[in-house]
Amino acid sequence: MDNIYRGEPLLKEDISSKIFELRQKIEEDLLLEPLMPEVVIEAAHVLSKEINQQEVAGQLAALGVPKWAAKEYVRVTIDSLDRSALLKKLHAELGENPFTWKKVDEGIEEKNHPLGVILHIGAGNTLGVSAFSVIEGLLTGNINILKLPENEAGISSRLLMGLIEIEPRLKPYIYVFDVSSKNREAIHQLIEVANAVAVWGSDEAISAIRQLAPPSLPIIEWGHRLSFAYFTKNKNTDWDLQGLAKDICSTDQLYCSAPQCVFYETDDPEEIDDFAYRLSKHIEDAAKQYPPAARPLDVQAQITWTLELVKMEEILKEKKLITDKKKQYSVLVDYHADLKASPLFRNIWVMPIRREKLLSLLRAHKGHLQTVGLSCENEEFDELSKLFYGAGICRITPCGYMSVNYTGEPHDGMYALGRYVRKVNKRYLCGI
């Protein structure tokens, strides 16, 4: 059962009537005693110990997720729900005792306070990310309404119901609705009761919510991002190409932090061709450790279309296609540098770049930049880092670590919990 209404399972046919009742129920619950993060953390910690790893990995495998990826997903989920991880996240993002009144001046106190009601518009590119968005809302004491993404197979709902079964006090703070993004009336009704909307997804998804939401409603965007690798000529190139191949194959490039393009500092076409062939061999090797999953027909059609276009432009010596017989991966060489999305699923653009052109190229995509996997000599690191941060990059990592996160790491350069609270203050009357 994917739908949850105030912590209870909900039949799909009852969604419309329950959404109609939502405003009154939530206005009652906004006056409840504040939900403290310790309650959420303890419930999540217990859930992490109760998850049957083999069972969940088996369910994911049945959905077509490769066994190695299913096991990794379960491991990351358990680690993320651990008490120490959530406490570290809370303290890193909001400090110690974030919901306690603190004196800031004579007769004046401040504290963090929940926004109230957060509507989470989930994204389907990462399994379970919607549930973790709700957990962040719970950690900040908010009532959370989750609009499920398509093709998630109930992963987030099961995680949230597991939390509720462990800690019934969470019931008034969790709603989950499996409604289509095309159902504008239902989405509009959910927006009407929200104090903020957290949107995970494409630019199109964010634009659609902006059109439905009033100007006064905060839109918390966790949108589409572009990440890439950048190589200078250095002694570690082959080692870093091996790491980059891992970044490509272990994620199928589905994460915002996964590489879409690789830039190599050269203006020699023969050098860029050689670089691309070396990368292709490392991708072949990485695929043995991370076997590819079956691709949906529409995805494969888009990949085939892109490869055919590249083959046509190869005749004009503007591009080059490097792939295996089964077309399980491709390295797409474009001799004109541009930061652009790849077809994903182990298809990567490789382009030559001159460093003096880099800042202008990246600035054209400001607001969409996230991670760079950097391969360079040690003495080049500071100069390149200054350039990347100036362009808008949030994360610089070695190749092989582009999608590896640490506990408490900002998301897209921002702390999520800080966006889900507001500062309130009170001033005491003189003489009291």
In-domain check, residue 380: yes
In-domain check, residue 432: no
Residue 377 identity: E
Q: Are 313 and 334 in contact, with CB atoms under 8 Å apart?
A: no
Q: What is the chain's mean pLDDT, rounded?
A: 94
- The number of beta carbons lying within 10 Å of the beta carbon of residue 385 is 15
Residue 274 has pLDDT above 80, yes or no: yes
Residue 199 has pLDDT above 60, yes or no: yes
- Residue 124 and residue 218 in one domain: yes
CA-nearest of 373, 420, 124 to 243 is 373
- Residue 16 and residue 58 in one domain: yes
| Entry pTM | 0.93
- The domain in which residue 17 lies consists of 3-224+412-427
Q: Are 92 and 408 in contact, with CB atoms under 8 Å apart?
A: yes
The tens digit of pLDDT for each residue in 292-350 reads: 988 888 889 999 999 999 999 999 999 999 999 888 999 999 999 999 999 999 999 99
In-domain check, residue 407: no
In-domain check, residue 48: yes
pLDDT confidence band for 431 (50 / 70 / 90): low
In the chain, the number of structural domains is 2
- Residue 218 and residue 235 in one domain: no
- Residue 161 and residue 247 in one domain: no
- Residue 215 and residue 231 in one domain: no
- Residue 110 and residue 47 in one domain: yes
- Residue 144 and residue 232 in one domain: no
In-domain check, residue 160: yes
What CATH number should be reported for the domain holding residue 104? 3.40.605.10
pLDDT confidence band for 112 (50 / 70 / 90): very high
In-domain check, residue 404: no
- Residue 155 and residue 282 in one domain: no
- Residue 292 and residue 349 in one domain: yes
- Residue 218 and residue 296 in one domain: no
- Residue 231 and residue 262 in one domain: yes
What CATH number should be reported for the domain holding residue 261? 3.40.309.10
- Residue 249 and residue 181 in one domain: no
